[in-house]
Amino acid sequence: MSAAESMGADAVGLTKPAATATTPRKKMLELDDLHVFYGAIQALKGVHIEVDEGEIVALLGANGAGKTTTLRTISGLLTPREGEVRWRGERIDGVPAHHVVGLGIGHSPEGRRVFPAMTVTENLNMGAFRFKSVPRAELDRVFELFPRLAERRTQLAGTLSGGEQQMLAIGRALMGQPKLLLLDEPSMGLAPLIVAQIFDIIREINEQGTTVLLVEQNAAQALRLAHRGYALETGSVVLSGPADQLLSDPKVREAYLGEGA
């Protein structure tokens, strides 16, 4: 996909309303009966997840439920032992990670993982590694989304605050001009105010036409942002549905929102 084409897609995305029940569903990503192992330990036990074009989908669950494993499998960092990952109808499980990035799936990994000794700009340029030269328009867009990063463009990433590093990790994933953005716990270890800011930006990114698959422990906020949600428990999906429905589900309220039944 050339830069020009994807710019066009972005322009379309700007006018397109966020996915609702009324718009016809267009499947983007499908996980079908996914079984993933770390050596002898099974991390995913038959996971089914679907992501439609234009959505924000939240993936909830406690520590060790398999959320991060799911994202790593999608982005090609892990290969499933059984099951399929389908991107727009075609199988991509087992495709090496750098080719998955080329398909238009951007991954902002758990724990941010910015390149600590590179400057902010250098980090963002790394995000555009799949292109021969760095797309200026994309860089400008990221700096527009995150003015904080623009102020610190020559600062070393390792010296940024946690929130700024998270912004940089998201920005770096955006530099690859993804159609689907995988975000792994963007709220991890951040103050509530910063989390709110970052979630606002995620909504803005989505409104500009990027589909988002969001992994979160912070269930209440994630569900308020997302269109649909899935809940994982020890490697399987235990609940799924529209976000507002999940938010009012007593089981969800008990298990993830810390309220008594």
Partner 1 sequence: MSTTTKERDLAPTGSALARLRTKRWYQQPMFGRLVGTVAAAVLLDVMSGPQGSREDVFFSLDKTLGSLRVVWWIIGAVALWAILEFAKPLYNRYLAASVGPLERFHAPVTGPVKGLIAQTRTTSANLRRILWVRIGFSAVVIGLLILLPNVLSTFWNQVLVNEVAIYVLLAIGLNVVIGWAGLLDLGFIAFFAIGAYSTAYWTGAMPVEPPFTLNAFLVIPVAVGTCLLAGLLLGAPTLRLRGDYLAIVTLGFHEIIYLIAKNADGFTNGPRGVQGISNFGVHIGVLDYDWELDPVPYWYLLIGIATILIIAFLRLEHSRVGRAWTAIREDEVAASATGVPTVKFKLMAFAIGASTSGIAGVVYASKARFISPESFLLLFSVLVVAYVIFGGMGSLWGVIIGTAFLAWLPQYMKDWVNPNDRFMYLGALLIVMMIYRPQGLIPSVRRKRELSMAKAGLGDADAMSEPAGGRMT
By the rule CB under 8 A, 189 interacts with partner 1: no
Residue 254: both structure tokens together: 């008990």
Residue of 64, 158, 162, 189 interacting with partner 1 (CB under 8 A) = 158
Q: Which is nearer to partner 1, 50 or 122 (CB)?
A: 122
- The verdict on 8 binding partner 1 (CB under 8 A) reads no
- The vertex-131 CA angle with 178 and 170, nearest 5°, equals 40
What are residue 180's DSSP bridge partners?
105, 211
Which helix H or strand E contains 124, and what residues bound it? helix 120-127
Q: Residue 26: count other Cβ atoms within 10 Å of its Cβ.
A: 12
CB atoms within 10 A of CB 12: 10
Sheet with 90-91, side-by-side order of all strands: 41-52, 27-38, 82-87, 90-91
Interface with partner 1 by CB under 8 A: which range of 50-58, 168-176, 194-202, 237-245?
Answer: 168-176
CB of 97 to partner 1, least distance (A): 5
236: number of Cβ within 10 Å = 15
Binds partner 1 (CB under 8 A): choice among 7, 9, 150, 156: 156
Site string for partner 1, 84-123 (x = CB under 8 A): ------------xxx--xx----xxxxx-xxxxxx---x-
At closest approach, how far in Å is the CB of 182 from partner 1? 9
Closer to partner 1 by Cβ: residue 53 or 184: 184
What's the token pair of residue 90? 């075609």
Looking only at the bridges linking them, the beta strands covering 180-184 and 27-38 are: unpaired
Of 141, 172, 179, 227, the residue at the interface with partner 1 (CB under 8 A) is 172
Report the interface residues with partner 1, using CB under 8 A. 72, 75, 77-78, 96-98, 101-102, 107-111, 113-118, 122, 125-127, 129-130, 132, 156, 158, 172-173, 176
